Chains A and B, each alone.
Chain A
Amino acid sequence: MKKFTSTLIKPTRRQFLTSTAGALALASAPAIIRPAKAADNFKIGLFAALTGPASLFGPTQKACAELAVDQVNAAGGINDKKVELIVVDGGVSPADAAKTGIRLMLNEQVDFVVGSHDSAVRQALVAAFKGKLPYVYTPIYEGNECAPHTYVIADTPPQQLDLALPWLAQHSGMDTVYMIGNDYVWPQVLNKYAKGMIAKLGGKVVGEEYMPLGAPNKFEEVVTRIKAANPKLVFVTLVGGDNVNFNRTFAAFGADKITRLSSLLEENTLLGIGKENANNLYGAMSYYANIETPRNAAFKQAYAAKFGAKAPNLSLLGEDCYAGVKFTAAVANKAGSANTAAVAKAALNLTFEAPGGQWTMRANRHVDKDMHLADATGGSFKVIKSVANMASGQTCT
């Protein structure tokens, strides 16, 4: 009798220690071992420019993505799951971004990653993910990203230049072209592609200059040089503050009778350039905030309704995040899951809607998209030519 009671009511020390240790271990186990709590949410990790040189666009990137998530959830979510957006900083060093990417993949267990950031970070993330989950890259870039399970919905150089250069050749002539850009991969790839097209259009490149990226650049000397060369067209692949300063200096020297094509000319840069300095300035991208289509009008209305008067300025770098989330919803719904193989199959020739137009994902994991050529004269964009379903020109298998 005594023996029986003692076993029931007073467990041995060994039993007590083992059961307590087991309970503690379970309680503190990382999420991978514990059954995932919110398995009923479809998680999208968004890399936005919260800090860093492009942090100006962070607020609108986050806002556009949140709007897209709201709309997707209102339409029933993804595979009957509610979409949850996890926003992380893409404006950090590639090494830090890779760490964040791994955290998203293993700890938060996101289903998809959408990224709007520079190419160095993209390459670090591709290396970190190793194709284990679908990764959607959204911002306008230089092309050549062919990693498997990486879906690029960004504008590419062929899309920009196949539209802009032939039109400009007719409009202002392309006998002589001067190239000025920042010294990194995107301008160099753009220039390489442009040279091929210029030769085909019967033109000649009379100058090619690169300004260091991130240095305090002044443009009086190079503008004087360009003015003396008097080309028919200046192809400007400068970005950010350099793009602003170059165009302001160009106009100050009275050279703005010369046509300029800018590779990254969006609403904020144009504000900096100023309406009096934007004569004969053109851009070619897949989105401008004042494109007049019912689709864009609906998008802007929803954006204003959600964020009110303090809504961050709309531009391509923001709309691309909206499109990234919409693509994710379209492809994951079609695939029935976020499984990389199923997604790859479902992505082929999938058409989805973006405010800038209708886009179709192709076998090269890039999109055919509607592109718009705009004239920035007077300080606001006027679309003068649109071409639907332009091929990305990327040879990925």
Chain B
Amino acid sequence: MDPLILTQGLNVLFAVTLLVIIVLGLAVVFGWLGVMNLAHGEFIMLGAYAAVFTNQHGLPFILAVPLAMLVCGTVGWLVERILIRPLYARPFDLLLATWGLGILIREVVEAFYGGGFHNVPVPVAGAVDVLGASYPAYRLLIIALAAPLIGLMLWWYLKSSTGARVKAMVGNPELAQAVGIQTDVLARNTFIFGSLLAGLAGVVIAPLMSANPYMGLDFVITAFFAIIVGGLGSVLGLFVGSGIIGGLDSVVSAILNRTTAYLLVLAIAVFFLWLRPRGIFSRV
């Protein structure tokens, strides 16, 4: 196969994979809890700065993962207790509150690290030959690892008892409470889980694009597009939404140019918000 087409094909696969990784945490929190967390991008940014921290202290890159989980998990726990829990029944106020939270996190990180860029070297440098096309090793690794990890998460959700409890809570909270499911504990843990996923995404992304306090804003926009298109509360929706948005963006960027691709992505998001706000696969 023509190496150019093969490389662009891998680019499309990478674009979709990256978008799934970014959206995962928000899909959990928005889809299952109905919390429109506008600070989701800042949780990703915190994960990225965990990688900056380990790099600055000469620690191996892999240690950024537990560090990011620790930081984001703690922040997620605090945020859920103080900010989210009192506002579950007031979605618009919650939206404003998470927007404010995002600003707060940005300012705190900027106070510690400054507003500039922080380089995190790619942990696996160089390129790998894939059927005649040369592709960056780190990006290939992301594609290769994302699939089994996400598959694991899916299997857990579909097969485990906690997964069943979450489905119950999402489907009918009052009835779930009536059968003894502790929905407030479950909700808290779900929010923390979403924060952990965001932190993990941040660690993965940091070597790709250099950390800076404002990087979160870009992620939250694209993530919302994917969720709008794919649908709320549905795992299939997450993949379909990321596939459509990420895939379309990448394919049109490869064939034409980025401006046209972005225009199409925006057009699709507007179309869905206008005509089908619940997305393609909606359970809520």
User: CB within 8 Å of B: which residues of A?
Assistant: 55-56, 183, 209-212, 215-218, 220-222, 224-225, 228, 241, 244-245, 248-249, 252-254, 268-269, 271-276, 313
Q: Which residue of B lies closest to A310 (CB)?
A: B114
Q: Which of B187-237 contact A (CB under 8 A)?
A: 208-210, 212, 214-215, 218-219, 221-222
Known: A248-B208, A252-B139, A272-B212. A55 touches B115 (CB 8 A): yes
Binding-face segment, B87-95, B147-155, B257-265: B257-265
Question: Counting chain B CB atoms within 10 Å of each CB, which of A215, A254, A273, A313 scores highest?
Answer: A215
Question: Counting chain B CB atoms within 10 Å of each CB, which of A218, A222, A268, A269 scores highest?
Answer: A218
**Is B183 positioned at the interface, with any CB of A under 8 Å from its CB?**
no
Task: Report how far A55 CA is from B222 CA in the complex, Å.
Answer: 24
B183–chain A nearest beta-carbon distance, Å: 35
Assess whether A274 is in contact with B11, with CB atoms less than 8 Å apart.
Answer: no
Task: Give 6 closest A-B pairs by Cβ, nearest first.
Answer: A272-B117, A216-B218, A274-B119, A221-B253, A252-B136, A272-B210
**Is B242 positioned at the interface, with any CB of A under 8 Å from its CB?**
no
Task: Report how far A253 CA is from B127 CA in the complex, Å.
Answer: 7
**Is B109 positioned at the interface, with any CB of A under 8 Å from its CB?**
no
Q: Which residue of B lies closest to A379 (CB)?
A: B119
Q: Report B-chain residues with C-beta under 8 Å of the C-beta of A254.
A: 126-127, 134, 136
Assess whether B210 is in contact with A245, with CB atoms less than 8 Å apart.
Answer: yes
A317–chain B nearest beta-carbon distance, Å: 12
Known: A224-B4, A248-B208. A56 touches B116 (CB 8 A): yes
Assess whether B208 is in contact with A271, with CB atoms less than 8 Å apart.
Answer: no
Assess whether A241 is in contact with B212, with CB atoms less than 8 Å apart.
Answer: yes
The contact sample of 10 A-B pairs, CB cut-off 8 A, is A221-B253, A224-B4, A241-B214, A241-B215, A248-B209, A252-B139, A271-B117, A272-B119, A275-B119, A276-B121
Q: Which residue of B lies closest to A53 (CB)?
A: B214
Assess whether A269 is in contact with B208, with CB atoms less than 8 Å apart.
Answer: no
Q: Which residue of B lies closest to A209 (CB)?
A: B257
Known: A211-B258, A224-B254. A273 touches B210 (CB 8 A): yes
Assess whether B117 is in contact with A244, with CB atoms less than 8 Å apart.
Answer: yes
Q: Which residue of B lies closest to A277 (CB)?
A: B119
Q: Report A-chain residues with C-beta under 8 Å of the C-beta of B222.
A: 216
Assess whether B121 is in contact with A220, with CB atoms less than 8 Å apart.
Answer: no
Contact of A221 among B11, B121, B208, B218 (CB under 8 A): B11
B interface majority secondary structure = helix
**Is B282 positioned at the interface, with any CB of A under 8 Å from its CB?**
no
Q: Report A-chain residues with C-beta under 8 Å of the C-beta of B209.
A: 241, 244-245, 248
Known: A274-B119, A313-B116. A224 touches B7 (CB 8 A): yes
B203–chain A nearest beta-carbon distance, Å: 16
**Is B178 positioned at the interface, with any CB of A under 8 Å from its CB?**
no
Q: Which residue of B lies closest to A211 (CB)?
A: B258
B177–chain A nearest beta-carbon distance, Å: 40
Task: Report how far A224 CA is from B13 CA in the complex, Å.
Answer: 14
B35–chain A nearest beta-carbon distance, Å: 22
Task: Report how far A95 CA is from B111 CA in the complex, Å.
Answer: 29
Assess whether B119 is in contact with A211, with CB atoms less than 8 Å apart.
Answer: no
**Is B272 positioned at the interface, with any CB of A under 8 Å from its CB?**
no
Task: Report how far A58 CA is from B219 CA in the complex, Å.
Answer: 25
Q: Which residue of B lies closest to A229 (CB)?
A: B4
Contact of A224 among B8, B118, B262 (CB under 8 A): B8
Q: Which of B94-125 contact A (CB under 8 A)?
A: 115-119, 121-122, 125
Task: Report how far A173 CA is from B229 CA in the complex, Å.
Answer: 47
Assess whether B127 is in contact with A271, with CB atoms less than 8 Å apart.
Answer: no
**Is B250 positioned at the interface, with any CB of A under 8 Å from its CB?**
yes
A172–chain B nearest beta-carbon distance, Å: 21
Contact of A276 among B14, B125, B127, B257 (CB under 8 A): B125
Q: Report A-chain residues with C-beta under 8 Å of the C-beta of B119.
A: 271-275
Contact of A212 among B7, B121, B259 (CB under 8 A): B259
A35–chain B nearest beta-carbon distance, Å: 42
Q: Report B-chain residues with C-beta under 8 Å of the C-beta of A56.
A: 115-116
A343–chain B nearest beta-carbon distance, Å: 35
Q: Which of B2-18 contact A (CB under 8 A)?
A: 4, 7-8, 11, 14-15, 18
